[in-house]
Amino acid sequence: MEASAGGKRAYSIIVPTYNERLNVALIVYLIFKHLPDVDFEIIIVDDGSPDGTQDIVKQLQQLYGEDRVLLRARPMKLGLGTAYLHGLKHASGEFVVIMDADLSHHPKYLPSFIRKQKETGADIVTGTRYVKNGGVHGWNLMRKLTSRGANVLAQTLLQPGASDLTGSFSKGYVFQMEMIVRATRKNYHIEEVPITFVDRVFGISKLGGSEIVGYLKGLVYLLLTT
């Protein structure tokens, strides 16, 4: 699909990666599969993965075209939130989609996000596990309780206007939480789409104690500044 005049796309899909060699080809394939008639670009922001992720992305560029799959690499692991910001600098789309490379955010939901935005004129459309037809799959009880507790804490302290702020506990999701909270304070129109969050199939989860501490620090920061 050709870009519109001026090289602009309708949608820029930003996918940060670090050691996602086993997942990146699958998620790119699924995005193209579920958005066959949509004008989009995929921006892969790779943080110097040592497992050969960038080599796979370069092969995908040969298959789909460098104008559809963009590799915007960084020299080292610098964090998920800053990866989104790096991707935004290179985005040409009128709308921007941010999603994980580990398939926890399945591309099959993208048409629902696009449809919801068109129907409502929303400024932001976000996925939620905490409404009817939403949920999680593959999590143990402790992770479910931790996520639910963190979300209740965020809802109580921040009143964000969205039901799900804790897709994970990384710096990237503090970024996501801050975006939603600040958009609510400025009276932007936010809509939600139910999703099922699936634990990664390939690779190792990057959730750890430091990410939980970072989330709590971000929560306090937003409480004091919004």
**Residue 83: how many CA atoms within 13 Å on its side-chain side?**
31
Supply the pLDDT for residue 91: 95
- Is 92 among the domain residues? yes
pLDDT in tens, 25-71: 999 999 999 999 999 999 999 999 999 999 999 999 999 999 999 99
pLDDT in tens, 64-109: 999 999 999 999 988 888 898 999 999 999 999 998 888 878 899 9
- Is 89 among the domain residues? yes
- Is 215 among the domain residues? yes
**Residue where one domain finishes, among candidates 101, 128, 150:** 101
Candidate from 67-71, 103-107, 130-134, 190-194 with smallest mean pLDDT = 130-134
Do 41 and 68 lie in a common domain? yes
Do 75 and 152 lie in a common domain? no
The whole-angstrom separation of Cα 158 and Cα 55 is 42
Quickly state the pLDDT bin for 208 (edges 50, 70, 90). Answer: low
**Residue 55: how many CA atoms within 13 Å on its side-chain side?**
6
**Residue where one domain finishes, among candidates 74, 101, 128:** 101
Q: Which helix (H) or strand (E) holds 150?
A: helix 141-158
What are the φ and ψ backbone dihedral angles of 120, each rounded to 5 degrees? -110, -15
Q: How many domains does the chain have?
A: 2
- Is 111 among the domain residues? no
Do 78 and 34 lie in a common domain? yes
Do 88 and 160 lie in a common domain? no
- Is 109 among the domain residues? no
Name the CA dihedral angle for 107, 79, 68, 63, rounded to a multiple of 10 degrees. Answer: -80
Owning domain of residue 71: 9-101
Do 66 and 137 lie in a common domain? no
The whole-angstrom separation of Cα 30 and Cα 19 is 19
- Is 174 among the domain residues? yes
